[in-house]
Structure 1
Amino acid sequence: MKTRQVLKKMFQYFLQGLIILAPIAITIYAVTALFNFVDGILPSLIQKIFPHLIEADKEGNTIKIPGLGFALVMLIVILVGYISSSFIVSRLVELFDKILERTPGIKLIYSTLKDFFEAFAGDKRKFDQAVLVSVESADVWQIGFITQQELSEFGLIEHVAVYIPQSYAFTGRLYFVKRDRVRLLTDISSTDAMKFAISGGVTHIEDEHDGKK
């Protein structure tokens, strides 16, 4: 009997440890994989374009400096974000943007990726209006995000476009829903609402009033 209790306790501790370590391990693995991927391709590319910047060994292989590729990518992204705020550069970016959006074939890929990233960040961020939406039944509600307030081009005057994310996935579904079936969430942030939806409802939503007590 005691042996069974000990094994049961050990199994409980194992599950508890797994719950603690699994998210940490997966996060570290994902970041490390991205880090190594960028470090693996960027130095070789720079060495081919600017052979004097990065040296090669006797066999012609690029000498890799840990973190150099990742640091360069971060620096380039920050630099582009900084200089894009200037008037002249912003006009050039807009011109290049229009060219890509009007180029057949490239237009579909570029505009889709651009809208996807702008939906999560930037001045045109779309997922900033968290709502409860009733789609399938009047008594069943789902967390969603209003992406379009006007749908007159679809012939729907009383509807709004609501994106509903799926749990444990980067996918979701778009619905055109009547306004009276949508409730705006005001007590939680859009970020907390997204985390709650993607986690399947297991993520704890922090109470903004906790810090005031």
Structure 2
Amino acid sequence: MKSPHIFKKFIQYFLQGLIILAPIAITIYAVTALFNFIDNILPSLIGYFSPDLLGTDANGNPKKIPGLGFILVTLIVILVGYISSSFIVSKLVDLFDKVLERTPGIKLLYSTVKDFFEAFAGNKRKFDKSVLVSIETTDVWQIGFITQEDLHEFGLQEYVAVYVPQSYAFTGRLYFVKADRVRLITDISSAEAMKFAISGGVTTIEEDDKKS
């Protein structure tokens, strides 16, 4: 076997291994970074409010219990989600929500963060209507998501608001475009459309997620 052929095979196997391992490694790194971030913060908070609860190490710093912070935060989030479904708690949450949304200074930050998370999950999801939108020229189309269909507040009667995500990023751009320059995507789910857009079009559309 000739050396150039061996080198070509070596590069091919290397790229195949990289394609397999890179997503796994990035996912593990992200989860581990979040895990360590929470675990590093919790001992300091507990040590501040209750210095004797965890004790201290040889350097005088609060002792760390690996995994405690991650488990605790996960349980708190699940617990809040569970009890928020009850009538009394839901009313208290609504009251607290209204107070924060009317508090000067806090209102902008709170409402922006709240709307951002509700856009992806919950009963008020905004990214559930995927479309093809033509913005710069009629022959080029981009994947987007209709977030508002009524823009009379902006004096636009025949326009819709379309959010266009950017590939390999958590950012995107908002456009006001005429409704006739938007085509509703009906063959695949919104989740698959988002994944396809963010991946730059290299991901595979799952058959099970195609709309009937």
**Secondary structure at 1:140's aligned position in 2?**
coil
Partner of 1:189: 189
Aligned equivalents of 1:46, 1:159: Cα separation in 2: 52
Unpaired stretches in structure 2, ≥5 consecutive residues: none
Tell me which moved more, 128-137 or 47-56: 47-56
Deviation at 1:48?
2.6
**Secondary structure at 1:177's aligned position in 2?**
strand
Deviation at 1:78?
0.8
- Give the counterpart letter for 1:159 in structure 2: Y
Whether 1:48 aligns to 2:48 is: yes
Partner of 2:57: 57
1:104-159 Cα distance to aligned partner (Å, 9 max, x none): 22111111111100000111110000111111111211110010011111111111
**4+ residue segments displaced more than 4 Å:** none
Aligned equivalents of 2:140, 2:15: Cα separation in 1: 32
**Secondary structure at 1:144's aligned position in 2?**
strand
Partner of 2:29: 29
- Give the counterpart letter for 1:2 in structure 2: K
CA shift in 2, pair 1:21/1:126, >3 Å: same
Whether 1:167 aligns to 2:164 is: no
Aligned equivalents of 2:20, 2:187: Cα separation in 1: 29
Q: CA-atom RMSD, angstroms?
A: 1.7
Deviation at 1:13?
1.1
Aligned equivalents of 1:90, 1:178: Cα separation in 2: 39
Matches within 5 A, 1:189-208: 189-208=189-208
Tell me which moved more, 7-16 or 55-64: 55-64
Aligned equivalents of 2:28, 2:58: Cα separation in 1: 34
Unpaired stretches in structure 1, ≥5 consecutive residues: none
CA shift in 2, pair 1:58/1:209, >3 Å: closer
| TM-score, with structure 2 as normaliser | 0.93
Aligned equivalents of 1:84, 1:58: Cα separation in 2: 42
1:148-192 Cα distance to aligned partner (Å, 9 max, x none): 011111111111111000101111111111111111111100000
- Give the counterpart letter for 1:138 in structure 2: T
Aligned equivalents of 1:58, 1:36: Cα separation in 2: 20
Whether 1:128 aligns to 2:128 is: yes
- Residues 131 and 145 of structure 2 are in contact (CA less than 8 Å); yes or no, is this contact kept in structure 1? yes
Aligned equivalents of 1:209, 1:87: Cα separation in 2: 34
Partner of 2:18: 18
**Secondary structure at 1:111's aligned position in 2?**
helix
Partner of 1:178: 178
Number of residue pairs matched by the alignment: 210
Aligned equivalents of 2:181, 2:126: Cα separation in 1: 20
- Give the counterpart letter for 1:10 in structure 2: F
**Secondary structure at 2:173's aligned position in 1?**
strand
Deviation at 1:50?
3.4
Partner of 1:78: 78
Tell me which moved more, 43-52 or 31-40: 43-52
CA shift in 2, pair 1:87/1:209, >3 Å: closer
**Secondary structure at 2:54's aligned position in 1?**
coil
| TM-score, with structure 1 as normaliser | 0.93
Whether 1:98 aligns to 2:98 is: yes
Partner of 2:152: 152
